[in-house]
Structure 1
Amino acid sequence: MSTPAEFPVTWAPRRTRAVLLPVCALLVVMFAVIAVALPANWQFNDRVLMVLSGVLFAAAGLMLARPRISADAEGVTVVNFVRSRRLAWAEIVGVNFRQGDPWASLDLADGTSLAVVGIQSGVGKAQAIADARALRDLVHRHGH
């Protein structure tokens, strides 16, 4: 059984983060260097906008590195690209991760579903399946 023995537990695409965080830092540095190296006929405002462009691209990269899902005794916290949501165990009816899905999803008691981007197939299908099963086991154990 792949269920974690103790709380809290967090699932996140760690390799994605390991790549994106240094790339984001590199983007800011690279755009700052470009701003300094621009020809003399470029205005100060142009240079500032060049640095801000690097910061903007880095912010987008950091958003992509954000997804995760954390579980504790009271429920789960799903953090996706922009939003996060806290759910009690009783609110979660099921965990789905069908073949071809980019990430897992939660079926909720109110009839809706919620994407769980923190468990995604893009970083390893076998690991994503094991993580979804572990989450499903926790939902069955604590949700009923």
Structure 2
Amino acid sequence: MSDQPTLPVTFRPSRTRAVLLSAGAVLFLVISAVALLLDLGPGERLSFVLTGALCFWVPAQLARVRVVADDTGVTVVNIASRRHLEWAEILQVNLRQGDPWVFLDLSDGTSLPALGIQPGIDKQQAIAHARALRGLVEARSVHRSDRDQG
């Protein structure tokens, strides 16, 4: 019996995402309502609504972070970047005490932050997700090593 999730699986900070999207929506609605309540011209109202849209867009970008594991590897979607890694490229999954998110140690000697697994609001979920991803990486690495040797 395996504790590993079935692929494909997406890891994301659910509570953080809900807070960010809710806050962005509230900001947009409040700024748009103010634009409608004030005695403004059409251009000024439009600028308020566009400002509200920007106030929603920023947290929406922060909320899009995720880590997607599938048969081909892991795709890390951070705030301004997306990177696909093959299973063999990931040497270790780290979430140490005090880390703001998971770090992936890669075969090229670098480390990649994976913001989709972060202990911010829900530490237990982040720990469970980090363990699940670590298990997948270890299983895929062992599987590949066995295949390469035989």
Deviating above 3 A after TM superposition, structure 1's stretches of 4 or more consecutive aligned residues are none
Moved more, 4-13 or 84-93: 4-13
**What do residues 67-122 of structure 1 show as CA deviations (whole Å, max 9, x unaligned)?**
11110111011111121111110111111111110101101111111101111111
Instruction: Provide TM-score, normalisation by structure 2.
Output: 0.86
State which drifts further: 43-52 or 76-85: 43-52
Counterpart of 1:24 in structure 2: which amino acid?
G
Structure 1 residues 1-144: aligned runs within 5 Å:
3-39=3-39, 42-143=40-141, 144=145
Q: Which runs of 5+ in 1 are unaligned?
A: none
Unaligned runs of 5+ in 2: 146-150
> 1:20–1:2: structure 2 CA closer, same or farther, 3 Å change rule?
farther
SS at match of 2:36: helix
3-state SS in 2 of match to 1:119: coil
Per-residue deviation at 1:2? 8.0
Identity %: 51
Report which of the two has the higher share of strand. Answer: 1
- Give RMSD over aligned pairs: 1.8
Structure 2 CA distance, aligned partners of 1:95 and 1:74? 17
Question: What is the aligned residue count?
Answer: 142
